């Protein structure tokens, strides 16, 4: 619905401009080349990208997903290693993307040869390696924009808006952001106000380990919980992982333990079962009361739709008094449809990750 509308608007404006400026009308009303856009990326670099982007390479799954959600998935000319080989979500929401040529290796390093062959207009990369963005830019003479949410909603929203600007999909971006924020507000409204002191403490066992945890993970905060590990590392590091000792975990005695669950079950070294059965943790409140659950988690990048579903799910877990709405699976499907325009994507994901038990509420 959007590309046609944009084209008509552009044509109208061009016609008016011509009328005012008395230039001979060019054939094809939308033929004017838009001015380049300048954006500031997550590394605080000022990058100038062409006004019209037709060919995109994205090395970051999070960015690729947002591009698809913005409706610009057809402009992707390559796919990164993780999405091609290890992602369960991508085949559900953008299966045609899997046919794209592979542009990176296991370490998410860009294959320069492939990049040259595909001649993108812009490359999106992770900001975790500063030099990488610079070096790709130098070698390809193509603008490189480094973006990541770093485990923060503000970051995610900023990403969506920036990408919207770069790709000329500002309206769609605004739609998504509004949807996202409205859903979060709805969660807030439906919850009884928790005085900060009474928020349940939550420990996140992520990255397939009992002792690695992100010190800041916004879905937990938005869902009414308090990250037990907050303060271990400086806040500005966002969802960086800290390694603690088992004893620290026992000392924190969280009320709830969340285990990262977007690993396929056979790959999980830490599961709800292993936590409940671990003799060292027998005295923890969370273990004794059985409040050990899976959550989707953060694999160094998010899926914008899934993180929203996760927040809804956690809200149900951490604020049991909230009024019942549509079940989680139904809600998830709605959210995925809004982002990606596909039906039943969340249900399909649940089957793959075996999460029907934990999303049954």
Partner 1 sequence: MSGRRDKRTTVLSVLAVVLPLALSLVALNVGAYRIPPQAVFTTVAEAVFPGGDGSGPSPYADILFRVRLPRLLLALFAGAALAVSGASLQALFRNPLVFEFSLGISNGAAFGAALSLVFLGRGFPPQPAAFVFALLAVLLVVAIAGRSASQVVTILLAGVIVSALFQALLSLVEVFANPYALQSLVFWLMGSLGQATWKDLAVTLPVIGAGVTVLILMRWRLNVLSLGEEEARSLGLDTTRDKIAVIALAALVTAGATAVMGVVSWVGLIVPHLVRMAVGADNRKVVPLSAGYGAALLLLADTIARGAAPFEIPVGILTSVVGIPFFIVLLKKSGRIWL
Structure tokens at 183: 């859903």
Residues in region 46-85 near partner 1 by CB under 8 A: 82
**What minimum distance in Å lies between the beta carbon of 309 and partner 1?**
21
Cβ-proximal residues to 249 (8 Å cutoff; 6+ apart), any chain: 203, 210, 211, 281, 284
- 277 touches partner 1 by CB under 8 A: no
Pick one of 267, 320, 321, 324: the residue that binds partner 1 (CB under 8 A): 267
- Of positions 2, 209, 343, 360, contacts partner 1 by CB under 8 A: 209
Please say whether the beta carbons of 329 and 344 come within 8 A: no
Specify the 3-state DSSP secondary structure of 158. helix
308-338 burial, b at 16+ Cβ within 10 Å, e below that, comes to bbbbbbbbbbbbeeeeeeeebbebbbbbbbb
**Is residue 280 part of the contact set for partner 1 (CB under 8 A)?**
yes
Q: How many residues sit in the footprint of partner 1 (CB under 8 A)? A: 33
Measured CA to CA in angstroms, residue 288 lies from 226, 247, 277, 283, 297 at distances of 19, 17, 11, 7, 23
Region of 203-211, 219-227, 290-298, 344-352 interacting with partner 1 (CB under 8 A): 203-211
Q: Could you say whether residue 153 binds partner 1 (CB under 8 A)?
A: no
**CB 344 within 8 Å of CB 352:** no
What's the CA gap between 76 and 63, in Å, rounded?
11
Shortest CB 85 distance to partner 1, Å: 8
Dihedral over Cα of 233, 239, 240, 246: its sign: positive
We find the least distance from the C-beta atom of residue 306 to partner 1, in angstroms, to be: 17
Tell which one of 14, 233, 322, 342 touches partner 1 (CB under 8 A).
233
Cβ 303 to partner 1, closest distance in Å? 15
- Compute the least distance from the CB of residue 58 to partner 1, in Å: 18
> Is residue 18 close enough to count as binding partner 1 by CB under 8 A?
no
From candidates 12, 282, 330, 360, binder to partner 1 by CB under 8 A: 282
- Binding positions for partner 1, rule: CB under 8 A: 82, 86, 105-106, 207-209, 211-212, 231-233, 242-248, 250-251, 263-264, 266-269, 279-283, 299
């Amino acid at each position: 619905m959007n590309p046609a509308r944009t084209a008509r608007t552009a044509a109208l404006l061009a016609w008016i401009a011509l009328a005012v400026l008395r230039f001979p009308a060019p054939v094809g009303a939308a033929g004017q080349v838009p001015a380049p856009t300048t954006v500031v990326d997550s590394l605080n670099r000022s990058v100038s990208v062409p006004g019209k982007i037709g060919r995109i390479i994205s090395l970051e799954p999070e960015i690729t997903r947002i591009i698809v959600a913005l409706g610009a998935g057809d402009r992707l000319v390559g796919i990164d290693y993780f999405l091609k080989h290890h992602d369960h979500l991508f085949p559900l929401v953008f299966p045609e993307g899997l046919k794209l040529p592979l542009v990176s290796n296991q370490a998410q390093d860009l294959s320069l040869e492939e990049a040259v062959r595909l001649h993108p207009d812009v490359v999106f990369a992770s900001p975790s390696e500063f030099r990488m963005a610079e070096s790709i830019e130098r070698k390809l003479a193509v603008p490189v924009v480094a973006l990541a949410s770093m485990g923060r909603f503000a970051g995610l929203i900023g990403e969506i808006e920036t990408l919207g600007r770069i790709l000329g999909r500002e309206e769609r971006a605004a739609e998504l952001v509004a949807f996202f924020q409205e859903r979060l507000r709805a969660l807030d409204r439906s919850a009884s106000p928790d005085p900060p002191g009474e928020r349940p403490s939550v420990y996140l066992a992520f990255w397939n380990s009992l002792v690695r945890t992100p010190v800041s993970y916004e879905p937990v905060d938005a869902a009414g919980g308090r990250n037990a590990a907050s303060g271990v590392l400086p806040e500005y590091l966002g969802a960086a992982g800290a390694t603690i000792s088992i004893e620290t975990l026992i000392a924190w005695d969280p009320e709830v333990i969340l285990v990262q669950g977007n690993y396929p079950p056979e790959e999980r070294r830490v599961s709800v079962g292993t936590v409940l059965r671990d003799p060292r943790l027998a005295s923890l409140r969370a273990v004794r009361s059985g409040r050990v659950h899976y959550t989707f988690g953060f694999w160094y990048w998010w899926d914008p739709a899934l993180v929203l579903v996760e927040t809804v799910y956690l809200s149900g877990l951490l604020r049991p008094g909230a009024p019942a709405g549509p079940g989680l699976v139904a809600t998830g499907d709605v959210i995925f449809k809004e982002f990606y325009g596909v039906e039943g994507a969340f249900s399909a994901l649940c089957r793959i990750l075996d999460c029907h038990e934990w999303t049954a509420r």
